[in-house]
Structure 1
Amino acid sequence: MKLLHTSDWHLGQSFFTKTRKNEHQAFMQWLLQQVESEQIDAVIIAGDIFDTGTPPSYARELYNHFVVELQKRQCRLVVLGGNHDAVAVLNESRQLLACLNSYVIASTDLPLTEQVILLPDRSGAIGAIVCAVPFIRAKDILQSSAGTGGLEKRQALGEAIAQHYQAIYAYALELRQQQQLEVPIITTGHLTALGVSQSESVREIYIGTLDGFAAEGFPPADYIALGHIHRPQKVAKTEHIRYSGSPIPLSFDELNTEKQVVVVEFTGAKRQHIRTLAVPQFQPMQVLRGDLAELARAIPTVAANYPEQTVWLCLEVMTEDFLPDLQQRIQKLVEGSNVDILQLKRLKNAKRQALTSEQQQTLAELTPEQVFAKRLAMEDFTDETAEARRNRIQQHFTQLVSELAQGQQS
């Protein structure tokens, strides 16, 4: 049995007003080629197939086209709902896609028996059992109760998610034993595991209730295919618990990580290989940093590297002075070239000295709030996305300090 794990396609994303349609189209064509050359038995998309709950018509068309083309290649498909996906949108075609050897699990609001999939290989024989766990919404597994604090809510949600994993895995074990199958058990998930590295494009999905799910809460499955984190990585230094990451960069800070999909191969119930396939970059994107003179030299060089395509740039302008006409100066640098400036950031060197401006001040003389404020001052929060991130960080810190104070009083 040969599985391909991918996630976080975010079909329909608008990237600084730019459509990603051509990139997604090129990625799907590339993925279909890999399915053929690698003889993949099943593709698992671990959540966030769409970017919003109301995806544009072209995004739905891309999705449907991929399902049909995958069916022609005798490959099964498992689609899990993510926090960006609307349950109703995924469910509207669920029964139809079932006729095309595609399994759609949009939410946990299904009988447990329908969340465990006996997944056939290319020959039609059962090749794996999949515990199909989508994004778990708190309302689906928890009952709210008055008087519970933030820490209690986090603990309750984490325990409820772990219990769901254990219940679905126990059913899969029972099913494997009943049918006397020598096949692996695959588990999926769409959440934030503790200790992972996130990017700017990842939205928090359990705001105020769950910071991250501990790896110990996962069952001992043979492979755990995760989604939600856009940077590919292993969880808790384990080979078999992985985020595949998004196939295209969903923010500029993801450009320093190679995009990939994960191929997992089994012989019987034994895992033989886990390896990754690098996804090509279909849209030229780059981050340039420097003062105006340095950027004036760098931009033409970047443009010349892609004579047949438009290059999307994020510029980080280093300047000590406030330049009211910075936007106009930058526009002059790219006039007549194949370059689009999608993001412009001002970087001031002075902010890096925020914690050392008061030379004689020690940590013992500062309150936790003052230390935290000085640390925040070192970061760049100049655009709307960054400002929203700053507010979330401040909210988490304030809540943590409050809970610690309450704990000391009790």
Structure 2
Amino acid sequence: MRILHTSDWHLGQHFMGKSRQAEHQALIDWLLVQVETHAVDAVLIAGDIFDTGAPPSYARELYNHLVVQLHRAGVALLLLGGNHDSVATLGESRALLAFLSATVVAEVQPPADQLVLLPKRGTPAEPGCIVCAVPFIRARDVLQSQAGQSAQDKQQSMQAAIQAHYQAVFAAGKTRQAELQLALGRTLPLIATGHLTTVGASSNESVREIYVGSLDAFPTAAFPAADYIALGHIHKPQKVGGLDHIRYCGSPIPLGFDEARQTKEVLLVDLDATGLAGITALPVPRFQAMVSVSGNLMTLASAIQDVAAQGTAEQPVWLEVTVADDDYLSDLPARISEMTQGLPVEVLRVRRQRASTAATLAGQPLETLDELSPAEVFARRLAQEDLEPAVQDALGQRFRAVLASLTEDAS
């Protein structure tokens, strides 16, 4: 059984005024080729399929295109909800996608209902592995708040609740594994999923912390003894705790300039009756050049010239410029614009080193409103509220209606 493990696609991301539609389309085209080339049986996306709870129509179209193409290839698809995903949005098409070889697990369910049998390629009736399909776990999914709890008490309660949920799903998985062994005469590998931060995981600025005030990071030892644990949420590919069978595959495209130097990848996970047989990383091509350069005005000119060699008139390099020494000048954007005149580069952000350092020390995000769309500002503010999914969706729909009416009036 061969699974392709990926996560954190963030379809519909609006990045500093730029759409990622072309990159995601190229990613899907590339992925479909890899599925054929490497004889993949099933694809698993471990959360954050969309960037917001109300993705634009083109993001939904890409999502549907992926589902249909994998179905035509006879390849099963398992989709897990992440902290960026709306339970309602993922759930609205779940019953329909089930007829297209795609299983959606958008939210926490009773343990037995979170078990998914992934079939071998082209043979829906022949199971290849059992998945304890655990999506992003919200605090309200697994515990009730208690008055008088300290921050440490809340941390411990959340950790214990998540661990208990994993153990319950894993126990149901072991029972199912024993039943299928009797029926099939062979042992199916048992894997698990998750969308969360683990102890020791290396994060970056484009990852939104998901358990603020409740759980900073989940201990590696608290995971069940599954043959493989496919994780999402952290965008940098890495092993967890040095263990080969617990992996973050990372995001397939850079979601921020701090990820531009990372080698993005998806993981081919081979399983057999003995468990994990091997893992192969497939590097993902860079579909859009993104570069961050820094220096004073004298050195930046040559650095930008070097970067320009990576771009073309049709696809300029997206550039972040951090100015040192000369960062006190008030006309920096104009000076940088003059440097890039006629070059196949597009400056998305100019940062002042001293201001950036001060903001970092203060723990503040290095963003301004002109770098965010109205939808992103609204989504980030809404994420700070502990509201039921239905309420969030209703507010999101109302916001989109108001925004649409304003856009129509402006045009």
In the alignment, what sits opposite 1:146?
147
Alignment of 1:194-233 (within 5 A): 194-233=199-238
Alignment partner of 2:243: what SS?
coil
Quote the Cα distance in structure 1 between the aligned partners of 2:365 and 2:219. Answer: 30
In the alignment, what sits opposite 2:340?
334
Q: Which of 297, 317, 325 is matched with 2:323 structurally?
A: 317
In the alignment, what sits opposite 1:395?
none
How far is the alpha carbon of 1:126 from its aligned partner?
Answer: 1.1
In the alignment, what sits opposite 1:7?
7
Whether the 8 Å contact between 2:263 and 2:283 is mirrored in structure 1 is yes
TM-score under structure 2 length normalisation: 0.85
In the alignment, what sits opposite 1:87?
87
Alignment partner of 2:45: what SS?
strand
Alignment of 1:11-410 (within 5 A): 11-108=11-108, 110-122=109-121, 123-124=123-124, 125-180=126-181, 181-307=186-312, 308-320=314-326, 322-348=328-354, 376=361, 383-384=367-368
Whether the 8 Å contact between 1:131 and 1:168 is mirrored in structure 2 is yes
- The structure showing larger relative contact order (alpha-carbon pairs under 8 Å, at least 6 residues apart) is 2
Quote the Cα distance in structure 2 between the aligned partners of 1:259 and 1:143. Answer: 38
Quote the Cα distance in structure 2 between the aligned partners of 1:279 and 1:136. Answer: 28
Quote the Cα distance in structure 1 between the aligned partners of 2:275 and 2:357. Answer: 54
Name the aligned partner's letter for residue 14 of structure 2: S
Name the aligned partner's letter for residue 135 of structure 1: F
The total of aligned residue pairs comes to 364
How far is the alpha carbon of 1:269 from its aligned partner?
Answer: 3.5
How far is the alpha carbon of 1:209 from its aligned partner?
Answer: 1.1
Q: Structure 1 residues 161-170 or 292-301, which shifts more? A: 292-301
Whether the 8 Å contact between 2:321 and 2:350 is mirrored in structure 1 is yes
Whether the 8 Å contact between 2:311 and 2:345 is mirrored in structure 1 is no
The gaps in structure 2 that reach 5 residues or longer are: 372-376, 378-411
Quote the Cα distance in structure 2 between the aligned partners of 1:202 and 1:335. Answer: 33
Quote the Cα distance in structure 2 between the aligned partners of 1:376 and 1:348. Answer: 11
Whether the 8 Å contact between 1:127 and 1:268 is mirrored in structure 2 is no
TM-score under structure 1 length normalisation: 0.85
Instruction: Give % identity.
Output: 52
How far is the alpha carbon of 1:272 from its aligned partner?
Answer: 1.4
In the alignment, what sits opposite 1:403?
none
Larger Rg: 1
CA change 1:256–1:351 in 2 (3 A) is closer
The gaps in structure 1 that reach 5 residues or longer are: 353-372, 389-410
Query: CA offsets per residue over residues 125-184 of structure 1, 9 Å max, x none?
Result: 111000000000110110111111111011000000000000000011011111214111
Quote the Cα distance in structure 2 between the aligned partners of 1:163 and 1:63. Answer: 32
Name the aligned partner's letter for residue 8 of structure 2: D
Quote the Cα distance in structure 1 between the aligned partners of 2:364 and 2:146. Answer: 39
Quote the Cα distance in structure 1 between the aligned partners of 2:261 and 2:230. Answer: 23
Whether the 8 Å contact between 1:286 and 1:313 is mirrored in structure 2 is yes
Quote the Cα distance in structure 2 between the aligned partners of 1:321 and 1:72. Answer: 55
Quote the Cα distance in structure 2 between the aligned partners of 1:351 and 1:221. Answer: 42
Query: CA offsets per residue over residues 214-252 of structure 1, 9 Å max, x none?
Result: 001100000000000001111000001000100000000
